[in-house]
Amino acid sequence: MKSPREIDTMRRSGTITARVLENLILAARPGVSTGDLDALAEHQIRAASGVPTFKGYNGFPCSICTSVNEEVVHGIPGDRLLRDGDLLSIDIGTTFERYVSDSAVTIAIGNVSQTAQRLMRVTQECLMRGVAQMWVGKRLGDIGAAVQEHAEANGYGVVRELVGHGIGTKMHEEPHVPNYGTAGAGMELRSGLVLAVEPMITQSGHEVETLKDGWTVVTADGKLAAHFEHTIAIMEDGPRILTLRQSGEHPDASAYATQEWRAASLSGKGAA
């Protein structure tokens, strides 16, 4: 459980994450390398008095993860140039005054197929279905069940080997937050709990493999994957997304905004 002071610090960490992720989305286009995006992310996180959480985490060499097409998560940025029609998942974490925020988005590079567009849309909807379950008195299984139901109803697979997580002064804390499960099962959700919810949805089967680099996770069948993530605090008056962006969000996301985010949105400025 996090105190109101801790959640406020995590909100400020989340504001950095959201701003940098917005800028990465704008910068990601055909001809740009994933390494360029990584350098931009590190520069902007540090310029905002944050630290890139991913860099050095269990030996990970970069500040963000960039996963393309069949890559689900943990892709290592480098010389790879983005091409028209690619799906790019960007995962980013910021540590600010000891507290971590974590967020991810999948975006289209140039013109992508309708098949890819639908996968992205449904995966983002899965995230919002999970957030909608994050009320005091609900159960952990309600989150995963909502994600799984929506994904499978649309003919998609839900990755089992990788899950969401608690988050705070460490990026990965208890509890694990699966993207599948049974409604009404698991621990009771309480005010002050902060979770990173991150549906990883595949175009077909849920099986995945890890490449020889020891990090990049890909779909076993080589088909597309998408990944969306937010850091969310459970409050007495409902869930609050701490990594909410000013653009590119699902239409329902603003219902879970913090008061500071709403005020910044009305003033046309980023939340402080």
Which sequence spans correspond to the domains of the chain?
A: 4-265
Is the pLDDT confidence value at 6 over 60?
Answer: yes
State the architecture of 4-265 in CATH terms. Alpha-Beta Complex (3.90)
Instruction: Look up tokens 């605090």; give the residue.
Output: 233
Mean pLDDT for 93-114 is 98
Question: What's this model's pTM, rounded to 2 decimal places?
Answer: 0.96
Q: What is the pLDDT of residues 155-197, one digit of tens each?
A: 999 999 999 999 999 999 999 999 999 999 999 999 999 999 9
Is the pLDDT confidence value at 268 over 80?
Answer: no
What are all long-range contacts of 250-259, with beta carbons under 8 Å and residues at least 24 apart?
250/124, 250/125, 250/127, 250/128, 252/128, 252/132, 253/128, 253/131, 256/131, 256/232, 258/11
Mean pLDDT for 255-259 is 95
Is the pLDDT confidence value at 141 over 90?
Answer: yes
Question: Using 50, 70 and 90 to split pLDDT, how confident is the model at 111?
Answer: very high
12 — phi, psi (to 5°)?
Answer: -70, -35
Predicted local confidence at residue 114, as pLDDT: 97
Predicted local confidence at residue 82, as pLDDT: 98
Mean pLDDT for 33-61 is 98
Is the pLDDT confidence value at 272 over 50?
Answer: no
Q: What is the pLDDT of residues 220-242, one digit of tens each?
A: 999 999 999 999 999 999 999 99
Mean pLDDT for 127-140 is 98
CB 98 within 8 A of CB 89: no
Percent of the chain with pLDDT over 70: 98
For 125, left (φ over 0), alpha (ψ -120 to 50), or beta? alpha
Percent of the chain with pLDDT over 90: 95
Is the pLDDT confidence value at 264 over 90?
Answer: no
Q: Other C-beta atoms within 10 Å of 138: how many?
A: 19
Tokens standing for residue 251: 């239409």
Is the pLDDT confidence value at 267 over 80?
Answer: no
For residue 209, which amino acid is it? Answer: E
